[in-house]
Structure 1
Amino acid sequence: MKPRFRQLILVATAATSLFLSVAQARVDASKSTVIAISKQMNVPTEGKFKKFTAQLDFDPAKPTVGGAKLSIDTASYDLGDESYNQQVRGKDWFDTAQYPSATFVSSVIAPAGGNLFKVSGKLTIKGKSENVTLPVTVTQQGTTQIFDGALPIKRSQFDIGSGEWKDTSVVADEVLIKFHIVETKK
């Protein structure tokens, strides 16, 4: 076998092994959650996004080469009452017909001490994008990695709540997005 061909075989084998190890990790949707907490008339209100996908490429030994992408089905937001859910899907809130998903795509993952990492990236909701940085705690449990974090945003930055709902005295401008993502390796 020629040396150059042998190198190509070795590179292809290494790439295949890397692909298989990444491909074998998957997000366990049944154990993962994405919720948004807001305040209406100063009372906390929690809604859960029932459908989302997450693609994670993370090795705690090499966090800076990792990445994350989260896509949330905005029509899956559930406040526990179908009439409220219908209203939130409308133009004044998420406008799910026009903007069916919200996304976060990381650009930088930096160690912040211990199992804490600062993840920076672009958050896009209703066609509006903002650069954000959020703390993420990563916990390793056997072949499972758990990613926990919270990101405070202002709904007005993303035009969430327009018309009569633009007034922040009834529904606060501040919203806390919390996530618990469980990734398992097969």
Structure 2
Amino acid sequence: MTNARYSMTAMILHWLIALALTFQIALGWQFETLERGTNLFGLYQLHKSIGIAILVLSLTRLFLRYARPRPAAFADNIWSERAAKSVHLAFYAVMIGGPLTGWMLVSTAKIDVPTLLFGTIPLPHLPIGRSFHEPAEILHELLAWGAIALLILHVAGALRHQFFKQENILGRMIPWAVERKGPLFLTLISISAALGIAFWTGSSITTAKTGPVNTPALNSPINDNPEASQNLPKEVAEKVAVLPVAEEEIPASDAKQKLANWQVSRGGKLGFSVDWNGTPIAGSFGRWTSDIRFSPDDLAHSAIIVNVDLGSASTSDAQRDEMLLGDSFFNVAVHPKAVFTSSSISNVGGDKYRARGTLKLHGKAQPLTLDFRLKIDGTNAKVSGTSRLKRTAFGVGSGEWAATDEIADNVSVSFDFAAKTRD
């Protein structure tokens, strides 16, 4: 070791890793509270891309640490020297282990999610089994918390040496730092601002790209936002930008005055289920709208239209949801919604009804039948029902997923909600 400053390469790598790690922590912090959607798919891809970048930078920094001379450590005694070394070793464990465990998570997900680093470089999966998924998930989360703790310790230690022990430790790692305290103090402020901006960017980019984190009412308009295309390939983004976003509604001329206009209440559910290797995978849509004109006494003129925001699909598994929203399945960048339009409604006994119509999904239109129970009490109603469709009839599941040996062709749809007549 020498008492010289760190090399310029080491300095650049140090601050690139610091900014990337701060950004990554802030971005990852937001994922558990965000709604599923087209933008979230892009944010996960960005998170993976930044993670692999940190891995490459950290391995390069580790190589240089032992390949080139570095300044001697500032230490009061042998114990403080060992503590400093322990923090640095722990940092490398986090900066290398974090991306590796994330890579393991992607590689062992139930459904294969392809990764393109920064939308360009394909990242192959690690050749490991599904049994590694849960341990990797636990370790990945622990390493994230470890990164936060280590950042606090590292910054606190640097400030202690610089301002309480009068040791110019920052001057060895900042390219433009000088001995005088005034310029060095301004440098410290600029570094703090840069790290703060990185953290703020990682936190705010999720809100800017996905909107508010609270779930909208089920009968609120679907947010088909063209800005979602910013995280998508250029050719796909151009298609998203020109997609019509208007909801399909029953034409006013077809709505008879005596038909009640029903408003779906909050708290309803629109779910789906499909078998994957014999195991049922259940999911739901968080955003959908409806236009219901219905009267048991005038079924001939009753009509139902339901608009579903496919980007709000969730199966409670982040990696699986990425695949579901991507090109291989829903391809929400090109086909952001599904629409069911009834053509006839009939009573099949008591409070049981059957609505026949057409479902538009993934650019295809196919007949669909909904069987439901309806109980009307004055201006209030309770509705529950089911349907079944074949995903391959709509082209949902392309390439290797077009086969039905792993993911079944039959998809069950269920719905349960309350409604009341509008004024």
**The TM-score by the shorter chain falls in which range?**
0.7 to 0.9
Kindly report which structure 2 residues correspond to 1:39-78, keeping only aligned pairs within 5 A, or say none: 39-78=275-314
Shift of residue 37, structure 1, vs aligned partner: 0.5
Does residue 98 of the first structure (1) align with residue 334 of the second (2)? yes
Once the two structures are superposed, the pairs formed by residues 12-51 of structure 1 within 5 Å of their partners are 18=257, 22=261, 25-28=262-265, 30-51=266-287
For 1:127-186, what per-residue CA distance to the aligned partner results, in whole angstroms no more than 9, with x for missing partners? 111112232211124422122211111111011111121121111111001111321135
Q: Residue 39 of structure 1: CA displacement?
A: 0.4
Q: 1:84-134 CA distances to partner (integer Å, 9 max, x unpaired)?
A: 211111010000000000010001111211111121111111011111223
Partners of 2:411 and 2:260 lie apart in 1 by: 36
Partner of 2:361: 125
Partner residue of 2:421? Answer: 185
Match of 1:12 in 2: none
1:110 match: secondary structure: strand
Q: Does 1:82 align with 2:323?
A: no
The correspondence of residues 152-167 of structure 1 with structure 2, limited to 5 A, is 152-167=388-403
2:328 match: secondary structure: coil
Equivalents in 1 of 2:260, 2:347: separation in Å? 23
User: Is 1:116 aligned with 2:328?
Assistant: no
Q: Which has the higher helix share?
A: 2
* Structure 1 residues not aligned, in runs of 5+: 1-17
Which moved further from structure 2: 56-65 or 149-158?
56-65
**Contact 2:259 / 2:295 at 8 angstroms: preserved in 1?**
no
**Residue 372 of structure 2: aligned partner:** 136
Q: Distance in 2 between matches of 1:41 and 1:141?
A: 43
In structure 1, what is the equivalent of residue 46 of structure 2?
A: none
Structure 2: 5+ residue stretches without partners: 1-256
**Farther off after superposition, 67-76 or 131-140:** 131-140
Note if contact 2:259-2:298 (Cα within 8 Å) is conserved in structure 1: no
Quote the Cα distance in structure 1 between the aligned partners of 2:368 and 2:421: 28
Q: Percent identity among equivalent residues? A: 27
Q: State how far apart, in whole Å, the 1-side matches of 2:390 and 2:324 are.
A: 16
- Determine if contact 2:272/2:411 at 8 Å carries over to the other structure: yes
User: Could you tell me the TM-score, scaled by structure 1's length?
Assistant: 0.83
- Decide which structure has greater strand share: 1
RMSD after superposition:
1.7
CA distance in 1, matches of 2:259, 2:346: 25
| 1:61 to partner: Cα distance | 2.0
**What number of residue pairs does the alignment pair up?**
166
Q: Which moved more, 1:128-137 or 1:41-50?
A: 128-137
More displaced 10-residue stretch of structure 1: 142-151 or 64-73 = 142-151
Q: Please state whether the residue corresponding to 1:86 is helix, strand or coil.
A: helix
The residue identity in structure 2 corresponding to 1:105 is T
Q: Which amino acid aligns with 2:404?
A: T
